[in-house]
Amino acid sequence: MGKLHLFDMDGTLLYGSSANVELARELGLIEEFRALDAEFMAGLIDSPGYARRAYELWQGLTVEQVAAAFEGAPWLDGIREVWADIRARGEFCAVISLSPDFFVRRLTEWGAHAAFGGRFPELPFRGAPLDVSGVLVPESKVRIADRLCAEYGLTRAQCVAYGDSMSDAALFSVVSTSVAVNGDHHVSELATFSYAGQDLCAAYELVLGG
C-alpha cells in the first residue's frame, strides 16, 4: 500500500532555522526579523500581518539572494537520499511550509514531488501587490494534504507527517503516522515516533521499521 510522506521545512528539514532567518541573514536584516518574530509570537500580529511586513522588508530581494540563502542553509543530512528511496518505492513525498513559496519550491529540485509555501509575487517583486489570501496557516497543511491524497489516490490513513512545532499539530492530529523531528511539546505528544538529530535518514528509518 502506497504512502504520502509530508514534510515540514522550518525547524524540520532546516535544522534550528527557517527560511525567513536564512533570508534575513543574506539581506542583513536579522534584527528586523527578530523583532517581527517577537511580535508574532506575542500575538501582536497575525499571519497575514506578518506576511505584509516581511514582504515590505523583502522588496529588494533577488533570485540570486534566495539561491544563496537556500544553499547556505543548515539542511538535515540525507534529504535527497530519503526522497530518492520514497520514489523508488513508488510512494510520494511533498513539502508543506508556511514559509514563502519562492524558497520552498526549490526543494522539488531535490526530489520532492511537490512543495507548497505561502504565495508571493514572482521575483523580482517590483512593488507588485501582495494577496494575503495566499498566506498559509497551520490548517492549510491539512487542506493541502487532502488535495494531494485526492491527486495520488490515497487517504489520510496512508499519510506520514514529519514536523517539529505548533504549525504541524493540526496535520499530526489527522494522519495515521507522524514523526516529531527535533520536535517541541506541541507535537511530541501527538507523534507516533520522535527523532532528535541532524539526519533525516534516521527519522525515516523509524517509519520503515514501524
Structural domain span for residue 30 = 19-71
The 10s digit of each residue's pLDDT in 136-193 is: 999 999 999 999 999 999 999 999 999 999 999 999 999 999 999 999 999 999 999 9
Is residue 169 a contact partner of residue 187, using CB atoms and an 8 Å limit? yes
Whether residues 157 and 170 share a domain: the answer is yes
Instruction: Give the whole-angstrom CA distance, residue 10 versus residue 167.
Output: 10
Identity of residue 160: V
Residue 41 confidence (pLDDT): 82
Across the beta sheet with 4-7, what order do the strands follow?
114-118, 92-100, 4-7, 159-163, 177-181, 193-195
How buried is 86 (Cβ within 10 angstroms: 0-12 exposed, 13-18 middle, 19+ buried)?
buried
- Looking at the fold, whether 110 and 52 belong to one and the same domain comes out as no
Of 124, 118, 88, residue with least CA distance to 105: 118
Same domain for 181 and 154? Answer: yes
Residues 123 and 152 in one domain: yes
Q: Is 41 or 117 the better-scoring residue by pLDDT?
A: 117
Residue 61 and residue 128 share a domain: no
How many CB atoms neighbour CB 59 within 10 A?
Answer: 11
CATH number at residue 203: 3.40.50.1000
Is the pLDDT at 210 greater than 80? The verdict is no
Q: What is the pLDDT of residues 110-127, one digit of tens each?
A: 999 999 999 999 999 988
- Are residue 175 and residue 92 in the same domain, yes or no? yes
Q: What cell does 68 get? A: 544563496
